[in-house]
Amino acid sequence: MNKQYLEKSFAELESKIGVSIQRGIDCLSMNSDFSNVEEVINLDDKEQLAFFLALQSIRTPYYREVSSNFLSFLDEVSPIFSSINNGFNDNELLFLYLNTGALERLSNYFLSNFHWMIGTIDVPEQAKLSHVRKSFVTDEFLISDNPIINFKHVINDKVSLEFGCPLSSKHILLLRDEFSPYPINESGRVSLNRNEIRIYNEYQCRFSTRKVIYNKKENLVKIKSFFNTFPRSLTHNGDSICVLT
């Protein structure tokens, strides 16, 4: 597989997504008092953001395993694939898997099965408890190099899925399904309290690989305290994290 073609394909896809993300950020900066999510995200941008959520979700260790299993399946279909099975790196395996339509299926799933909302920090607050306040940021949204939030809420044996991604230090994109434990605001705007902000920020820290980005200088101390307090086995993305709510 031509490596330059592979890199060009990802670059073209991400450049289109980047335009939509930037447009949403610009709308939020100019209209922080928006009353409806459609004022910030139009239909075209929503489709691009769904692609972004799908692409980032597919780039997880779980989907790399799915890609590997997909190639094993091809081996069984035709012997010709066994000769090239060991010749693909992770990105090439991912590209093969994307060509099955996985990205389109997942992005359509995001568009069709979730309420799209934007969470806001209307009144920045510090955590009440001193030991929480020391290591957890609650007055702005953090973003890491693995920015997509993926929660499973279990309520009375029902599993509710939630996805999200910070858009700015004051705004976060949230996708919540019909079983969400949170009330669904039809306007799409939801004001988040400091505990909810802590949970989203803890996720960013725990699932980061190399970087956690902040806006307020004073929060650097808290981020360092977080990583100094919790062992790497907890802060690394190992698909076994439980964030207490």
98-151: pLDDT as tens digits: 777 878 888 999 999 999 999 999 999 999 999 999 999 999 999 998 899 988
Q: Is the pLDDT of residue 62 over 70?
A: no
Per cent of the chain over pLDDT 70 is 72
Query: CA nearest 98: which of 61, 145, 51?
Result: 51
C-alpha distances in Å from residue 158, one per residue of 15, 93, 166: 38, 34, 26
DSSP 189: E
pTM comes to: 0.80
Whether 151 is covered by a domain: the verdict is yes
CB 12 within 8 A of CB 6: no
Q: Which helix (H) or strand (E) holds 153?
A: strand 149-155
Asked whether residue 242 carries a pLDDT value surpassing 90, the answer given is no
Is pLDDT at 160 greater than 90 in this prediction? yes
| Residue 164 belongs to some domain of the structure | yes
- Do residues 107 and 135 share a domain? no
Q: Cβ(145)–Cβ(209) under 8 Å?
A: yes
pLDDT above 90 coverage of the chain, percent: 44
Which pLDDT tens digit goes with each residue over 162-204?
Answer: 999 999 999 999 999 999 999 888 899 999 999 999 999 999 9
Same domain, 48 and 74: yes
Residue 239 has pLDDT above 60, yes or no: no
* 126 and 159 housed in the same domain: yes
Report the C-alpha gap between 68 and 53 in whole angstroms: 21
d(CA 66, CA 88): 14
120 and 108 in a common domain: no
**Interior/surface letters 193-222, b for 16+ CB within 10 angstroms, e for the rest:** ebebbbbbbbbbbbbbeeebebeeeebeeb
The mean pLDDT of 67-86, rounded to a whole number, is 58
Q: How many domains does one find in the chain?
A: 2
pLDDT tens for 14-25 read: 777 888 888 999
Last residue of a domain, one of 68, 86, 112: 112
| Whether residue 121 is found in the same domain as residue 79 | no
Are 150 and 86 within one domain?
Answer: no
Residue-range definition of the domain harbouring residue 17? 3-112
pLDDT band for position 85 (cuts 50, 70, 90): low
pLDDT at 65: 55
Structure tokens at 190: 């939801």
Measured distance CA(169)–CA(141) in Å, rounded = 5
Among the candidates 112, 145, 163, a domain finishes at: 112
Cα of first residue to Cα of last residue in the chain, in angstroms, is 45
Q: Tell which of 62, 84, 112 closes a domain.
A: 112
Look up residue 117 and give its amino acid: M
Among 76-85, 122-131, 234-243, name the one with the lowest average pLDDT. Answer: 234-243
Q: Is residue 165 part of a domain?
A: yes
pLDDT for 93: 67
Residue 230 and residue 122 share a domain: yes
Does residue 44 sit in helix, strand or coil? helix
**How many Cα atoms are found within 13 Å in the side-chain-facing hemisphere of 180?**
17
pLDDT value for 81: 55
Do 15 and 84 fall into the same domain? yes
